[in-house]
Amino acid sequence: MRRARQIIFLFVMMALTNMFLSIPVYGYDKSKIPEYIRIGLKYGESATPLVSVYSKNGLELGYFAGNEFRSIFSFLGNDEIIVRKDSYFMAFNGSFLEYQYDEQRDMYNTNLQGPIHIQIGSTFQTREEAQNFLNTLPRLHTTPYLSYENGWKVWTGLFTSMANAQGAAENIRLSLPEMEISFVPQHDKRIQILSKSGEVLCMLNLGEMEYHFRPIPQKDGGNLIRLDGKNFRGSIIIRRYSGSDFTVINRLPLEEYLYGVVPKEMSGTWPLEAQKAQAVAARNYTVQKLGAHSQYGFDLCATTHCQVYGGYDGEHERSRKAVDETKGKILTYKGNIVTAFYHSNSGGHTENSENVWTSPIDYLKGVNDPYSVGSPNDTWSYTLTKEQIQDILNSKQLSVGEVNGIKATEYSPFGRVLKLEIQGTQDKKILEKEKIRSIFGYNNIKSTWFTIRTDAAATVISGSTFTPQQINVENIYVITTEGIKQMDNGQPNIFVYNGSELKNVSFRATKYVFDGKGWGHGLGMSQWGAKKMAEDGYTYDQILTYYYSGTKIE
Classify burial at 322, counting beta carbons within 10 Å of its beta carbon; exposed 0-12, middle 13-18, buried 19 or more: buried
- State the alpha helices, DSSP H only, in 397-450: 435-440
Residue 380 has pLDDT above 80, yes or no: yes
Cα of first residue to Cα of last residue in the chain, in angstroms, is 49
Residue 11 scores a pLDDT above 80 = no
> What does pLDDT average to over the chain?
89
The identity of residue 477, as a single letter, is Y
The secondary structure element, H or E, covering residue 53 is strand 50-54
For residues 301 and 38, the answer to whether their CB atoms sit within 8 Å is no
CA separation for the pair 474, 491 (Å, rounded):
9
Give the per-residue pLDDT at 343. Answer: 96
Q: Is the pLDDT of residue 14 over 90?
A: no
Given this model, what pLDDT does residue 242 score? 81
180 contact partners, CB below 8 Å, separation of at least 6: 120, 121, 122
Instruction: Average the pLDDT over 12-39 and give the result.
Output: 58
What are the Cα distances from residue 111, in Å, to 114, 145, 185, 198?
10, 20, 20, 11
**pLDDT of 467:** 54
CA R_g for the chain: 33
Q: How far is CA 224 from CA 53, 57, 104, 347, 351, in A?
A: 11, 9, 45, 41, 42
Question: How many Å apart are CA 261 and CA 314, to the nearest integer?
Answer: 8
The helix/strand/coil state of 388 is helix
User: Which residues touch 442 (CB under 8 Å, ≥6 apart)?
Assistant: none
232 alpha-carbon distance from chain centroid: 17
Higher pLDDT, residue 248 or 21: 248
Coil vs helix vs strand at 394: helix
> Could you please report the per-residue DSSP string of 218-247?
-TT----EEETTEEESSEEEEEE-TT--EE
* Cβ-contact 286, 326 below 8 angstroms: no
d(CA 171, CA 325) in angstroms, rounded, equals 65
Rounded to two decimals, what is the model's pTM?
0.83
Closest CA to 216 of 225, 227, 228, 226: 225
Instruction: Give the pLDDT of residue 13.
Output: 41
- Write the DSSP assignment of 345-378 as a string of letters: B-TTB---GGGTSSS--TT----B-GGGTTSTTS
pLDDT digits (tens, 9 = 90+) for 145-191: 999 999 999 999 999 999 999 999 999 999 999 999 999 999 999 99
Q: Mean pLDDT across the stretch 98-118?
A: 90
Residue 198: strand, helix, or coil: coil
Listed residue (89, 39, 3) closest to 290, CA to CA: 39
pLDDT score recorded for residue 124: 98
pLDDT in tens, 313-336: 999 999 999 999 999 999 999 999
Lowest mean pLDDT among 21-35, 292-306, 337-351, 526-540: 21-35
For 498-538, write each residue's pLDDT tens digit: 667 766 666 688 999 999 999 999 999 999 999 999 999 99
Partnered with residue 385 across adjacent β-strands are 511
CA torsion through residues 365, 410, 402, 400, sign: positive
On the question of pLDDT at 426 being above 80, the answer is yes
| Cα(81)–Cα(61) distance, integer angstroms | 12
Q: How confident is the model at residue 16 (pLDDT cuts 50, 70, 90)?
A: very low
Q: Which amino acid would we find at residue 434?
A: E
Q: How many CA atoms lie within 13 A of 524 on its CB side?
A: 20
> What residue ranges do the domains of the chain occupy?
24-37+253-379+520-554, 38-215, 380-454, 457-508
- For the four alpha carbons of 150, 59, 286 and 304, in that order, the dihedral sign comes to negative
452 Cβ contact list (under 8 Å, min separation 6):
406, 407, 408, 512, 513, 514, 515
pLDDT in the model for residue 108:
81
